[in-house]
Amino acid sequence: MPDYYELWSRKVAEKQEEMDGVVEAVHKGVDLLSKDENLAKMVYKVKPGSDKGISIGAVDGGEGMQELSGVAVYLVRASGFYKAKEGTEKKSQFLRDLDLGVIPVNSYTKARVQFLRAAMEYNMASQLILKLKPDYVMIDGSLLVGLEIDPIKIDEYDAYCDSLRRLFSLADKYGTKLVGVSEDSTSRGLIGYLSSKGLGKDASGALASLTDASLMQLYTHRTVEEDPVATKPFIPVSNKGRDWIKKNTGIDKSFPTFYLQATRMGRPLRVDFPSDGKEINSRAEEIASLISHLSQIPKRYGYPLPLYLAHSDAELSKKLMEKTAMLIQKQIFKKWGDEYLSMYVKKRRDSRPGDYET
């Protein structure tokens, strides 16, 4: 009987031509798109920037959840990194927060943990503004996407919206510039925007298989010899829009969005920021210039260093989540007796014999 490696090798050889055909079709479509005037007008070379004289806050969070029989143990944390201005008394530092607990398992369990994490991140951004007054606060992920989440009738969603409103209010009060940075966006907002202007009539097949980030990366590699480059800001085509956001969250802003290829080998970043409609282009250029400067180390990664530091500080390992669940099992569940403790164990699929360490 053949083993799986032999089967895998045989299947790769059998499907080589089919897979080559799919990739070739995408490349032909991109070649057509690279000649489109609408797209060419959207892309420009970013002027090198500097972070001298600028203080920056960066926020990211981590979450973990382990489902047991009947309940789930969760752990969320957020990290706020502050990069101080040179020559000031303030020092670069981290602010941190953490929460853990037990919640029932139902259709809202995952959403509750995600909202807890997101609210903690926005509250961390508010803490940075109140305590350290940075010029910029960069948050991992799209601000617009976070505001367009469909309402859910759970307390965590209400707390999430409260944290958003507080953050935007503080940013306006202290003049802090909020920026959302998505490192691995799968959005198609730029494609939708360009399609509304007639882009890609002869390359609909390629557009159907691309995301904004992949379109930006393929296009710039074909047409631009230098980096960094960015698209001009645009308002993503949405079935919700500014009025919907205002009604559901109370935040009355538009969110200009652009893509930034900060380094040649790094994936394009999706960047958005709140706006009242004034000086959108100049603000986008200022932000693109700053993020490009912050994303040069390492060039292969192409991501703002302050956000990377916040991400590394907040990231939750599977091992830490398991230790947290074990601690709660011992301290909370055990006092109810062995008959109850036996209920709160890992699911069978998470504890197969082959998974145990020897």
pLDDT in tens, 94-122: 999 999 999 998 999 999 999 999 999 99
Report the 10 Å Cβ neighbour count for 128.
24
Return d(Cα 259, Cα 220) in angstroms, integer: 11
Q: What is the pLDDT of residues 123-180, one digit of tens each?
A: 999 999 999 999 999 999 999 999 999 999 999 999 999 999 999 999 999 999 999 9
Return left, alpha or beta for 279; rule: phi > 0 is left, psi -120 to 50 is alpha, else beta. Answer: left
Q: What is the pLDDT of residues 168-182, one digit of tens each?
A: 999 999 999 999 999
Closest CA to 46 of 299, 297, 292, 303: 292
Q: What is the pLDDT of residues 23-82, one digit of tens each?
A: 888 777 777 777 777 778 889 999 878 999 999 999 999 999 988 777 889 999 999 999
Cα 79 to Cα 151, 167, 196, distances in angstroms: 26, 16, 39
Instruction: Please state the rounded mean pLDDT for residues 240-252.
Output: 91
Q: Check pLDDT > 70 for residue 225.
A: no
Query: Domains of the chain by range and CATH?
Result: 54-314 (3.30.2170)
Return d(Cα 103, Cα 321) in angstroms, integer: 15
- Higher-confidence position of 48 and 280: 280
